Structure 1
Amino acid sequence: MINNILCEIGRLADKIKRGKIFSSTDVVISSIRSIGKLVSKVRDDETLKNIYPIAVRELIQSRQTSALLLNSLRELTKTLVDSLEETRDLREISTRINLKVHEIEKSIRDKNRTVAKIASNRILDGDTILVNSYSTVVYEAISYAISEGKKLSVYIPESRPGNEGVFFARKLAKLTNVTLFVDSAVRHFMKDVDKVFTSAEAIAANGALINKVGTSIIALVAHEARVRFFSLAATTKFYPETFLGELVELNRISLKLEEEGRDLEGKIDAYSPLFDVTPPEYIDAIITEKGLIAPQAVVIIIQELYGWPPKIPSLESEFIKLQEVIG
């Protein structure tokens, strides 16, 4: 049974790593649910001590850019360690962990809902909004605006690799008018755009945005065209480790060549980054559940969340505690 669950987690991690799950929210919810399921099936302390860190590390490494994934799994792991310090009843521990999974999931959805409502207030009747990749929170923001009777249209690039933009366009087309175009045409269409809305994989301490590759080009073009650029990101997507000087590692996958390029296989290196970094000077505001903030204010929010100097427990330190508690 445990081996089957570990295999499921391995398959999930592979899908995440290859960008097959588009939304960071969906990535995190799938991941914490899988860990909750794993803990519920463990029958002895020793097995828990050995396999829990392996499973969590595999999920973290599958999407190292995701601050929400790291923060959620850190919170879940702390709950596990705290529970083990109080009881060795694995049924009780499983109950606590799965309650925490539901709590984290509810918190994510509630914060996204608040972010979306605030973002929808920035949409005016008649606006053309450019979005990038697929985002549940951006979708909610547009849905709220439309439900309030605002007429709007959406522009969206394909968002290669993965073509999340095509998936998003299909979903948005049920709500409003959508224009889908190739990624390289962003500058051509920017003249028709009123605002840019993107989500976030992570927000660094300096206010930089880590998001799907192509976001930084969109931000640069929007800056040139004087189009306001907004990132919709709850504070759980702030990457506290960057406050201490750590860098966010960007995922990169091997690129499968199209039919017309197959003759080049083995002769060239072909890669595609999944994410890029947008400098804070190209971001007009980050829309959080606390309201709109300037990128330069991110450090203040991190101080509010983690204190000063910031106390940020690493996952590895929690794993060490796990080993010590179980013995």
Structure 2
Amino acid sequence: AKHKEKQPKESKENSSKQVALFSHLEIPKGANANSPKDIHPAVLVIGLQFADFKICGANARCIATLTAFKKVIQDYKTPDGTTLSRHLPTHLSPQIRYLVNSRPMSVGMGNAIRHLKLEISTMDIDLADDDAKRLLCEKIDNFIRDRITVADRVIVSYGLQKIQDGDVILTYARSSVVQALLLEAHAKGIQFKVIVVDSRPRLEGKRLLRRLVDAGISCTYTFLHAVGFVLKDVSKVFLGAHAFMSNGALYSRVGTAMVAMMAKEKNIPVIVCCETYKFAEKVQLDSFVMNEQGKDEVLKPFYRNPDEMVNISTTSTPKAGLLDGWLHKPDLKLLNLLYDLTPSKYITTVITEVGMIPCTSVPVV
């Protein structure tokens, strides 16, 4: 009874701390122990990892999702009176819902799941269940190999043509394919320097910086607010992508648009590395209509220590007390958007596994 009495107050406080302009964005419910009983253990595990940002990055999330679904398919048994091609999509639906509740699905994950459902729907209904499951697992492995793993290698081979001796390359946050490209360029003996630009609260660039420095690449690390200062030495900008919209706009980690716009203003080439499975069929014109908020910012804040949002120190321990009691300050709200949109006019070229293309060619690939 006490719990029921508190709920309306919590709900009211929850809504009052949302920024009105972004109140339409759904806050993830989070993975919890009260999940439906038909959720596969492999899906439960990655749902918790997604919710806690233990697995982040479009490629890593997509591979983790498909690998988990492969285990779901291997353990699946078709009920009597139906067929695998008709019942398996129904069995997968709660698994997908659970993952969406943990964290909104990325564009690449959505495309991969649609591809899997298409493969299931076109299966021969006379095929034995074991053969059908083995074939579906092979299709999943082929998708991961062809659209992600091999695609990244091809993108790296194309990207090497854009890096020359003496280049100063700027990159923002951390992209797995940009990281692979820079490491490969260094392994080929190309002499270049890297400027890693980063931002709070995730500080993803630190992981990239660590890998590059360990490989022996000369690096500079700075925050987003200093990007205008460091651009004077930059010869090229390499960026990763969360998705590309059909109007050629880049949907990526928040802050990407600022980096691209400032680079374009100084006539520095902006090169984006992106696999074609991340291409979306929809059009997006701004970062307001569709976006993602950091994990449950209100009563269970993404920032268990909210000082992480405003701390400018490069150490992992923020100065205490900057935002103490922010939940009880009616005029203070924290907004943690994860993505922004970069218009196509600020992007020089897109490197994909099918070649280097302009943004205007995205909808025809």
Please tell me whether the aligned partners of residues 222 and 229 of structure 1 are also in contact (alpha carbons under 8 angstroms).
Answer: yes
What's 2:356 paired with? 292
Q: Kindly provide the amino acid, as one letter, of the partner of residue 259 in structure 2.
A: I
Please tell me whether the aligned partners of residues 22 and 164 of structure 1 are also in contact (alpha carbons under 8 angstroms).
Answer: no
Q: 1:54 aligns with which of 94, 118, 130?
A: 94
**Distance in structure 2 (CA, Å) of the matches to 1:66 and 1:23:** 9
Q: Kindly provide the amino acid, as one letter, of the partner of residue 153 in structure 1.
A: K
- Aligned structure 1 segments of 4 or more residues deviating by more than 6 angstroms: none
Q: Kindly provide the amino acid, as one letter, of the partner of residue 74 in structure 2.
A: S
What's 1:262 paired with? 324
**Distance in structure 1 (CA, Å) of the matches to 2:61 and 2:67:** 10
**Distance in structure 1 (CA, Å) of the matches to 2:205 and 2:131:** 43
What's 1:324 paired with? none
In the superposition, the TM-score normalised over structure 2's length comes to: 0.75
Pairwise CA distance, 1:144:
2.3
User: RMSD value over aligned CA atoms?
Assistant: 2.4
Pairwise CA distance, 1:112:
1.0
1:98 correspondence with 2:132: no
Pairwise CA distance, 1:85:
3.2
Report the CA distance shift for 1:221/1:235 in structure 2 as closer, same or farther (over 3 A): same
**Distance in structure 2 (CA, Å) of the matches to 1:124 and 1:64:** 39
Pairwise CA distance, 1:207:
0.6
**Distance in structure 1 (CA, Å) of the matches to 2:282 and 2:97:** 16
> C-alpha deviations, 1:110-147, integer Å up to 9, x for none?
11110111011101111111112222211121122112
Q: 1:206 aligns with which of 227, 231, 247?
A: 247
Please tell me whether the aligned partners of residues 196 and 228 of structure 1 are also in contact (alpha carbons under 8 angstroms).
Answer: yes
**Distance in structure 1 (CA, Å) of the matches to 2:102 and 2:164:** 38
1:70 correspondence with 2:110: yes
Q: Kindly provide the amino acid, as one letter, of the partner of residue 182 in structure 1.
A: F
> C-alpha deviations, 1:193-251, integer Å up to 9, x for none?
111111111101111000111101101111122111111012111112449xxx98311
Pairwise CA distance, 1:166:
0.7
Q: Kindly provide the amino acid, as one letter, of the partner of residue 209 in structure 1.
A: L
1:75-86 aligned within 5 A: 75-83=115-123, 85-86=125-126
1:237 correspondence with 2:237: no
Q: Kindly provide the amino acid, as one letter, of the partner of residue 326 in structure 2.
A: L
SS in structure 1 of the partner of residue 325 of structure 2:
helix
1:128 correspondence with 2:168: yes
In the superposition, the TM-score normalised over structure 1's length comes to: 0.83
Report the CA distance shift for 1:119/1:65 in structure 2 as closer, same or farther (over 3 A): farther
What's 1:226 paired with? 267
Pairwise CA distance, 1:84:
5.9
1:281 correspondence with 2:345: yes
Please tell me whether the aligned partners of residues 42 and 71 of structure 2 are also in contact (alpha carbons under 8 angstroms).
Answer: no
**Distance in structure 2 (CA, Å) of the matches to 1:126 and 1:15:** 40
Report the CA distance shift for 1:235/1:11 in structure 2 as closer, same or farther (over 3 A): same
Pairwise CA distance, 1:57:
3.7
1:163 correspondence with 2:197: no
Number of residue pairs the alignment of both structures matches: 296
**Distance in structure 2 (CA, Å) of the matches to 1:206 and 1:136:** 24
**Structure 1: segments with no counterpart, 5+ residues:** 302-327
Pairwise CA distance, 1:83:
2.2
**Distance in structure 1 (CA, Å) of the matches to 2:293 and 2:66:** 24
**Structure 2: segments with no counterpart, 5+ residues:** 1-35, 308-319
Q: 1:21 aligns with which of 46, 50, 55?
A: 55
SS in structure 2 of the partner of residue 173 of structure 1:
helix
